[in-house]
Structure 1
Amino acid sequence: MKIHLIYRRIPNRILERDDDVVADLGEVVIAKSRFEGMLVPLKVNGVEVIRNGYTMLYFAFIGENYDVLKVYDENGEFKGLYVDVLAYTKREGNTIEMLDLFLDIFVFPDGRAFLLDEDELEMALNYGVIDRDTFDFAYSVAREILERLKRGEFPPEVVWKY
């Protein structure tokens, strides 16, 4: 079974693809995909964590303001969790739509977490691509996730079951 993903990025970038469904739990869809089309690998704290060819198991939480990607290298080694801060996650049948709010969090297997792309969010505000409410909302979601991580309440349990 496939799920159609529509991943929107302000102001007008849209990524669409069909991914293999691993599990459809209704309010959580788990799908498998591959990183492709990256111009450069992603490094966090000096460590390469994502590059083309790596695989992801992603968890789309319907109605939530985040998704979670479990990242694996070509050898199947777990590299960490990548969390997108989202305005929304909606589902209609076999289509999931998300709107990205720039901020991301990477969590290493040892639990160290890093907030990413603050510069992109700041630029979006400065250039009028987003308003102050959207800016503040993105930070509030990111702060909540980071706090939940510290308390051991994030990610949701389902992430460790797959």
Structure 2
Amino acid sequence: MNKPVLERRYGDRADWKRVIQRKFHQELIEDEGFRGYVTSLKVNKVTEPLFFQYEDKKVCIVNNGYTWLQHFPEGQCHCVTTMFNARGEVVQWYIDICLQNGLENKRPYWDDLFLDIIIIPNGEVYYKDHDELEKALLTGAINEDLYHIAITEAEQIKKLIETNEFKLFQLTRVHKEYFDRKDLDLLK
């Protein structure tokens, strides 16, 4: 069996060419209900907006004035990106299932395990990339252990969402306001 090949992704999204003016902050947050890194990417200017199609809904996930707040919970096999529009309204929550979150060269990262869960504010939930996970297993890009980690984590999160117990949904607003206050303090 080959060594598993997972894509390591970084919270600063430094290689994202669509975003041409940005403000980025990150911080280790340890408060009630959360321990881990949180990043805030304020998108000042993009080359063009980015839209996703979810069944009959077309959702803009990045444009001028948007903020992407990402949580990297310590010891968990997921990270959560909350996309806010220019008015500060949640556009969607995007949960990446991963092997681990970590810090490399002072940059928060996640090792992607393919599965994604997307929730839009009206409560609709979309599950993505199960086919990519299956293909990765069949081609040897991941092994059975990693496959089961991904499936188990996605099932646990699905249950928490269904019972309204996924705590990061409530913390996203609190943590966005925290970063917004920090930005205001820097302007003083």
Matched, 1:110 2:113: no
Deviation (angstroms), 1:69: 0.9
- Cα contact 2:101–2:108 (8 A) shared by 1: yes
Deviation (angstroms), 1:130: 0.9
Equivalent of 1:85 in 81, 97, 100: 97
Q: How many residues align?
A: 151
Matched, 1:32 2:40: yes
2:53 is matched with which residue?
43
- Normalised by the length of structure 1, the TM-score is 0.76
- Cα contact 1:149–1:155 (8 A) shared by 2: no
- Cα contact 1:33–1:56 (8 A) shared by 2: yes
Instruction: State the distance in 1 between where 2:61 and 2:120 align.
Output: 15
Letter in 2 for 1:159: T
Instruction: State the distance in 2 between where 1:15 and 1:142 align.
Output: 19
What is the SS of the residue equivalent to 1:25?
strand
Instruction: State the distance in 2 between where 1:130 and 1:148 align.
Output: 26
Letter in 1 for 2:5: P
Structure 2 alignment gaps of length 5 or more: 15-23, 176-188
1:11 is matched with which residue?
5
Matched, 1:63 2:75: yes
Deviation (angstroms), 1:134: 1.2
Cα 1:34–1:12, aligned 2, differ >3 Å: closer, same or farther? farther
- Normalised by the length of structure 2, the TM-score is 0.67
- Cα contact 1:62–1:91 (8 A) shared by 2: no
Instruction: State the distance in 2 between where 1:106 and 1:121 align.
Output: 16
Structure 1 alignment gaps of length 5 or more: 1-9
Deviation (angstroms), 1:51: 4.5
- Cα contact 1:44–1:106 (8 A) shared by 2: no
Cα 1:88–1:12, aligned 2, differ >3 Å: closer, same or farther? closer
Letter in 2 for 1:121: L
Give the CA RMSD over aligned residues: 2.9
Instruction: State the distance in 1 between where 2:72 and 2:39 align.
Output: 8
Instruction: State the distance in 1 between where 2:159 and 2:174 align.
Output: 22
Equivalent of 2:107 in 72, 84, 95: 95
% of aligned pairs identical?
A: 23
1:20 is matched with which residue?
25
Listed one character per residue, the Cα deviations across residues 17-63 of structure 1 (whole Å, up to 9, x for unaligned) are 46422x5314322212268799x743223323354535311111122
Instruction: State the distance in 1 between where 2:6 and 2:160 align.
Output: 31
Instruction: State the distance in 2 between where 1:161 and 1:77 align.
Output: 13
- Cα contact 2:52–2:59 (8 A) shared by 1: yes
- Cα contact 1:84–1:100 (8 A) shared by 2: yes
Listed one character per residue, the Cα deviations across residues 48-92 of structure 1 (whole Å, up to 9, x for unaligned) are 335453531111112211111111235544211110001001236
Q: Which has the higher helix share?
A: 2
